[in-house]
Structure 1
Amino acid sequence: MFTSNMDAPIYLGTADNVLQSDPKRAEERLTFEHNVLTLLGHRVLVGTPFVWQSRATLALVARNQPLLERDLPGLRLTSREAVATAGDYFAQRASDTRLFDRLQLRPESPFLLEQPEATPLDWRNLIGPDVKVVPRIASVEQRFRALVASDAEPGNDVRSLRDLSWTAFGAQFSNAGRGRTEYNMSALTERSLNGHFSRAVVEDEYLRRGADPKLLSATLARTNALYQLAAAEAHGAYLFTSSSIARRMPGEHEQPVLEPWTVSPANPYLFAHVLACVGIKPRSWARLDPFQLTRLVATSNPFLSFIVRYRNVVLQRTMDWQYNGLVPHFDDAVAIFQNDLLFGERWRSLEIIARLGRMKTAPYVMGAVGTAVLLPAAYGVGALGYPLAVGSAWATGKAIKDAAKFAADLRDDISFFDTLRMRSELRRFASEFGLTD
C-alpha cells in the first residue's frame, strides 16, 4: 500500500508467533526487517506479549536491548497505558488470562502460548522484568472486538467471517445453512462483547460448535489478519506483516498494510533489493549487531546520504504510479529504482571513472576509459544500446559521453559522476560492516 508518511512507526506483525514456523529462519527474518527499517529511520514496534510467545522475537529483543533505552530509530516494546516495564505488563496479562484454562483449543494451537506462564522461554534472564516498554495509544482488544463484530455482519467482503461461514454451511442453497450461519455469527458477536476476548476465544467458539477443520482454518487466518490490523491501529502505526496475512485483510480499511512484495518506501525488502546492484546481498543486513546499527543511524555516512535520495525518489515515483493506477510488480519496481538511483547493473563496470572528478575533459576521458572497460564485456554494444565500433575509439568515447549526458539529464539533481562515486562509496562502506562477500 502507498505510504506518504516516511517517519511513521512500523508495527512488526511478523514478530507474532502465529506467523513463525521455523524459529531460526524467523529470527533471521525479524533481524533483517528490524535492521533495515531502523536504518530507514522508523521506530519498530513489537507487542510485548510476543516476547514470551516466540523464541525468535525474544531473541530479537534480547539482541537489540541496548536500543530500547536510546532516543534513536529502532526497537520499541509496546504496552498498555501507565505500564512502564515488561514485568508489570506480564503481571497484568496473567491476571487477564486467569480463565484461559477453560478454553477449548487444539493441541497444536499457537494460542496456547497466550498465558505468560505457558512457555519455558527465559525472558526474565534474557531481557529482565525491568526492561522499558512504551504505551500504545488505544486498546488492541477493543479494536479487535470491533473488527470481529463488524466482520460478522452482512457485507460485501468475500473474505469476512460471515461469508466464510455462509459458503461453508451452503447458506446460498438452504434455509438450514442460512440459519446456522446466522446463529454462529450471533454467538460470535455476543462472545466478542463479553469478558476477555482474543484469537484464542474465537478458536474456542468455533470448536465448541463443531466447526469443520477447513472452516476453522480459514476463520483463524482471517482473525489473525483482523488482530494484526487492530494492533497497528491501536499503535497509530503502519503494519508490516506476511503476504499470507496481507491477503486476508478486509477490503476496506484505513491503516496502511505492508508486506515483502509491497512497492513502498517503507518496505525493507524493496530497499535491500535495490542495493543488491552494488553487491550487498539482502540477507547480509541481518548480520548487523546493535552497535553497528547505532553507528549507521547516528553518524554521517554514505548510507544515510543515499537513504535521503532513495526515500524521495521512491516516494515521488510511487505517488505518480498511484495517481495513474499503474503500480508495477515488485521485481519491475526494483529494476526501475536501481536504474533511477544507481544506474542499475549496467554501470557497475564504469565505477572506476568516479575517480576522475568534475574536470572539463572528464566526459571525454570517461569515454576513452569506458571504451577499455566496456569493450571486452559488451561485445560491440554499449550499456544503453549504442553500437561500439571496434577501431573507432573516438566514436566509442563519444557514444559513452552521450550516454552519460542522457543519464545526467534524467537525474538533474545529481550528476553522473556523483552517482558512480556513490556506488563506490556504498560498497566500500558496506564492506567495512561485513555486508559484502
Structure 2
Amino acid sequence: MKIYSLKGMKDYNIEKSYIWSYLFDKIKSILVSYGFEFINFPILENTLLFNKSLNNNILINQIYSFLDKNSRNISLRPEGTSCCLRFAIENGLLRGQKKKLWYFGPMFRYENPQLYRYREFYQLGIEAFGFNDINIELEILLLMNNFFKDIDLLKKLVLEINFLGSIEIKNKYSKYLLNFFKENISIFNKIYSLKEIENNPFKILEIKNEYILDFMINNMYKIDSFLTIKDKEYFNKILNLLFFFKIPYKVNYFLIRGINYYDGIIFEWKYYELKSKLSVCSGGRYNNLSKKLGGILTSGIGLAIGWDRLIEFFIIEKGYKNIKNNIKNKILVIVNNIKYIKYAFLLSENIRNLSIKLIINIDYSISSLNKKINYAIKNNFSYIFIIYKIYENKSIILIKDINNFNQKYVYSIDEVIDFIKKNMKI
C-alpha cells in the first residue's frame, strides 16, 4: 500500500527549498543587524499555556492536544508568541531587562487547509520585551520594510495598520459590536450566529461580504471613536514616523488580529495581487500577556512571518530560475577515468577546507564527458574541474568557467586553490 502525507501537511521540493534557504539567509542577516538574538523552544508545550494566552479565542478549538503516557495534557504549538514568552519567564529574561528575540519553526492548527494555509505551517517570529516607547514599533516596522525591499516584494505588499487601545477600550468596543450585531441581526445572521459573536464580537470585523461591509462602514462606529486622546496621539506619532521614513501604509480600522491578546498597535503586510488579499506578516503589541502567563507585567511587541505564504508569493513574483541562477561558486568535479576518483575526493576535500561557502559535487558516473558537462550546465554549476591525468608528481586538471566560457589548465591541487582564491568569492 502506498503511503501519502497527511492532509494539511506539506512537502517542500528541491526548487522551493532553494527559495526557502535564500529567504532565510536574507532575513537572518537583517535580524542580526538589528540586534535580535536567536532562541529555540519545544514544539510540545503544556496545554495550560495556550488555555491562558488564548482563552476563548477560536484558535483554542484548532489546537492539537492530547494526553501523554503520564496523562499530562500537552499540545503542539499553534503559535510562537506564547511559547517565546513562556521561555523568557522561565529563564528569567524579563527581570529588569530588555530583550529582542527571534525564532523559527513549525506550528500546528487543526483547521481546514486553504490557499497557502496548512495544518503544519512555518513561522519566523520576532519578539521584543521590556520596550515601552514608540521607538520599538518603528524599529520592527523598519526591519520588515527593509526585508521586503531586499527581496523585491515590497511593491506588491500593503502595510495595513490599526490601533486597538487598552484592554478596557477593547472591552467597551467589544460590547458595542455585540449590541450592533443584535440590533442588525437580520443583516448578519446569514454570516454568523449570535452565539459566535457573543464568543468573539470582533469576528464581525472579518466579514468579507461587500453589501454587509458597506453597511458597516456607513452605520457602525470604528474603534478610533473609542480611543483616548493619549491613544490617538500615540497612533498619530507612529503614522508620522512611517511617513518620515517613507514606509507606505494604509489605516484599516477593520483590521483585527485573529489572536485576542493584542492591545495597542496591530499591523499586517498583505499581498494584494490575489483577490483574497492574504496576510504574509502580522503582529502587534501585547503588554498584558506576560502577567497573564504568570510573569511580571512586561511590555511586549512582536510579529510573525507566514513562511509558507512568503515562499508562494515570492514564486508568483520571481519564479524559481532567478534564485537558482544566483547560486555562486557551484563546482562539479569530473574524472576522465574512474581510477582517478580517489584524487577527485582529495581535490574536493582540499577545496572544502578552503571555504564552506563553496558547493562541490563529484560526478561518480561512467557516462560520457559531454553528458557530464551538459549536466553541469543544466544544473547551474559555475565551474567544472575535469581531472584528465594523474602522474607521480603532477596532474592535469581542466577548469571550465561555464558562465564566462573560459577555460584553463592547471597541474596541481595547489594551483586549483590559487585559482579559486583569485576568481571566486569565498
Same fold per superposition (TM over 0.5): no
RCO greater where, 1 or 2, for CA within 8 Å and sep 6 or more?
Answer: 1
The structure with more helix, counted as a fraction of residues: 1
Question: What is the TM-score of this pair, normalised by structure 1?
Answer: 0.27
TM-score (normalised: structure 2): 0.28
